[in-house]
Amino acid sequence: MKKFILILLAIAAILGAVVLYFGNFMLEVAVHPQSDTRYQLDSCLVAVYNKYPELELWRDTLIQKGNWRDTMLVAEDGTLRHGVVMHHDSLSNGSTVILHGYNDNTVRMMRYAYLHYEMLGRDVIVPDHFGHGLSGGDHIRFAWLDHYDICQLWIPLAHQLWPEDQMVVHGLSMGGAMTMYTSGEQFDDSLRLVGFIEDCGYSGIWEQLEYQLKQEYGMPAFPLLYVANWLCGVKYGWTFRDGDALKQVAKCQKPMLFIHGDADDYVPTWMGMKAYETKQGTKELWIVPGAKHARSIHNNWEEYCQRCEEFIDRIQD
């Protein structure tokens, strides 16, 4: 009997070690970039310019005029946060803080910056989140802790630079989730933050990783996601359960425009629908026909611009 128990314990220990190993592997895959974009901004520029040649002259002109400025701020944890500030010489139509997605950076959001700056005539700030672009940090935090940077650093900076501007926050994918996280916080009226635009953001970190685990590998959440979640708490001080966008958006007191492609199989459309249904008060929903993940602006440029402009016009004084 004793021998049998020892064998069972040995098997349990081996299985535990295997689960722990693969749980740690899953965590590392999830929170570290698949390709290091931190020091590849030149290649990002080439990719953006190849797709949208008009953006090269536009960016170069802003830099020459001093209207495109790289800015560094110090976060609460002492690490640096990089962002690009784009301002108009004359009176603008407001300001927008634009939030990029997983493994992206300020350069990859240039199309969105062009929309708000050039098409809508707004001042713009595009931050690099922790672990992205030129900001400090050695891993990706799936937007949860990053939304505090938006609240404590970038929204106050926008107000400091343009105190008369009415402000919106516009985020894509992970940045869309970050927008929803941000929307649940309280802001002083003096900041003049009037609303939010979220594009294909996930409803929560846990829910997104659970979906991806099943979609990509046909595996259930238990035990790997549970182990990876525990390891994330031990190693980084936050867990996948913390980032609940539905909980945050339920507290949002300002208008929000939800955008999601109906062909999105990366962050599934039902997540956007759940977020929209959870939001109370003033809200709008645009389900974009045929759009895959993060493709709504690229497939429907004119309508995307129009929808954003009309939403902002409705919520500004």
Residue 124 sits in a domain whose CATH number is: 3.40.50.1820
At which of 219, 241, 263 does a domain end?
241
pLDDT tens sequence for the chain (317 residues): 555 454 434 444 454 454 565 556 667 767 876 555 444 778 889 999 999 999 999 999 999 999 999 999 999 999 999 999 999 999 999 999 999 999 899 999 999 999 999 999 999 999 999 999 999 998 999 999 999 999 999 999 999 999 999 999 999 999 999 999 999 999 999 999 999 999 999 999 999 999 999 998 899 999 989 999 999 999 999 999 999 999 999 999 999 999 999 999 999 999 999 999 999 999 999 999 999 999 999 999 999 999 999 999 999 98
Can you list the pairs that 66-72 forms with residues at least 24 positions away whose Cβ atoms lie under 8 Å?
A: 70/134, 71/157
Residue 113 shares a structural domain with residue 262: yes
Residue 132 shares a structural domain with residue 273: yes
Residue 171 shares a structural domain with residue 281: yes
Residue 178 shares a structural domain with residue 266: yes
Residue 137 shares a structural domain with residue 226: no
Residue 152 shares a structural domain with residue 67: yes
Residue 247 shares a structural domain with residue 101: yes
pLDDT of residue 3: 55
Residue 71 shares a structural domain with residue 92: yes
At which of 213, 241, 269 does a domain end?
241
* Number of domain units in the chain: 2
Which amino acid makes up residue 163?
A: P
Rounded to the nearest 5°, which phi and psi values hold at 54?
-65, -20
Residue 249 lies in domain: 41-204+243-315
Residue 193 shares a structural domain with residue 302: yes
At which of 241, 266, 295 does a domain end?
241
Residue 12 shares a structural domain with residue 67: no
Residue 308 shares a structural domain with residue 198: yes
Residue 250 shares a structural domain with residue 229: no
